[in-house]
């Protein structure tokens, strides 16, 4: 809803119920009283930014979702929402992307890089995607087949973050793939119809790696495989697709038309 018309052709659109936190980001020790009150309600404030019309903006987040807070010139009142100019341009998007979304994306991408994954595709591919993969997942199999044109053309590398969540033997199969002499070939053989040869004794290193991957997937609030992270959009923001995508979404994820 539109909350209030301000001078200089600006208005604020208040979006309630759309607030969520981002752990691990630095907080300033002293914000204006209304912002401190919002912090007590679970909001995390990351940075201050300048805005028109005598307002001061604060880039914040709640449960990982970016939100802007605007404090009035007297420092006694705060408005949560989106600041627009007279032409309807969103003046909140750029500072939120720079101060909250960008750092959040970078931190998550680093987590994915540091997880245990099986590479599928050229190491010099111009595009990298991380996808949570369960050996017993039929949609992971479909996604594997969908991506062959881009992977085989050297345009995309998929990094399969192996998890074991769907069936009783999923962890055993995932560990066997991770521990294979050539994990990439073992995964390709499996996706092309070969059964995974289970190990008589589980290697602790791969067992621990699988557990960490499962924990990472859970911490991200994901409940389906494949769940695939990729960069998209004008600001190259991080996106996630759960399940096997449709054709249009597949092209968006791969970053180019089918070779």
CATH code linked to domain 2-96:
3.10.450.70
d(CA 127, CA 123): 10
* Residue 11: per-residue pLDDT: 52
Domain boundaries, the chain: 2-96, 115-254
Are the CB atoms for 104 and 235 separated by under 8 Å?
A: no
pTM: 0.79
* Residue 196: per-residue pLDDT: 96
Q: Is 115-254 in the same CATH topology as 2-96?
A: no
* Residue 8: per-residue pLDDT: 42
* Residue 236: per-residue pLDDT: 79
CATH code linked to domain 115-254:
3.40.30.10
Q: Provide the residue-wise pLDDT of the chain in tens; the chain has 259 residues.
A: 333 333 344 554 444 333 333 343 344 457 999 999 999 999 999 999 999 888 999 999 998 789 999 999 999 999 999 999 999 999 999 999 899 989 999 999 999 999 999 999 999 999 999 999 999 999 999 999 999 999 999 999 999 999 999 999 999 999 999 999 999 999 999 999 999 999 999 999 999 999 999 999 999 999 999 999 999 876 778 999 999 999 999 999 999 999 9
Q: Which of 136, 140, 127, 202 is nearest to 168 (CA)?
A: 136
* Residue 195: per-residue pLDDT: 96
């Amino acid at each position: 809803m539109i909350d209030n018309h301000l001078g200089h052709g600006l208005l604020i659109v208040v979006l309630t119920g759309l607030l969520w936190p981002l752990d691990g980001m630095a907080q300033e020790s002293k914000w204006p009283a209304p912002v401190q009150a919002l912090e007590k309600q679970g909001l995390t404030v990351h940075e201050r930014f300048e805005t028109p019309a005598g307002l001061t903006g604060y880039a914040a987040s709640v449960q990982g979702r970016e939100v802007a807070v605007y404090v009035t010139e007297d420092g006694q009142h705060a408005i949560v929402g989106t600041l627009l100019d007279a032409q309807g341009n969103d003046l909140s998007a750029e500072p939120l992307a720079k101060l909250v979304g960008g750092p959040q994306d970078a931190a998550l991408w680093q987590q994915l890089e540091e997880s245990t994954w099986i590479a599928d595709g050229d190491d010099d591919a111009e595009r990298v995607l991380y996808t949570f993969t369960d050996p017993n997942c039929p949609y992971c199999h479909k996604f594997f087949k969908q991506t062959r044109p881009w992977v085989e053309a050297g345009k995309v590398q998929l990094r399969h973050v192996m998890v074991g969540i769907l069936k009783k033997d999923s962890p055993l199969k995932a560990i066997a793939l991770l521990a294979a002499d050539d994990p990439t070939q073992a995964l390709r053989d499996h996706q092309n119809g070969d059964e995974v040869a289970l190990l008589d004794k589980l290697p602790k290193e791969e067992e621990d790696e699988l557990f960490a991957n499962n924990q990472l997937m859970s911490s991200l609030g994901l409940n389906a495989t494949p769940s695939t992270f990729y960069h998209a959009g004008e600001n190259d923001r991080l996106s996630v697709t759960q399940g096997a995508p449709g054709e249009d979404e597949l092209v968006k994820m791969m970053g180019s038309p089918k070779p």
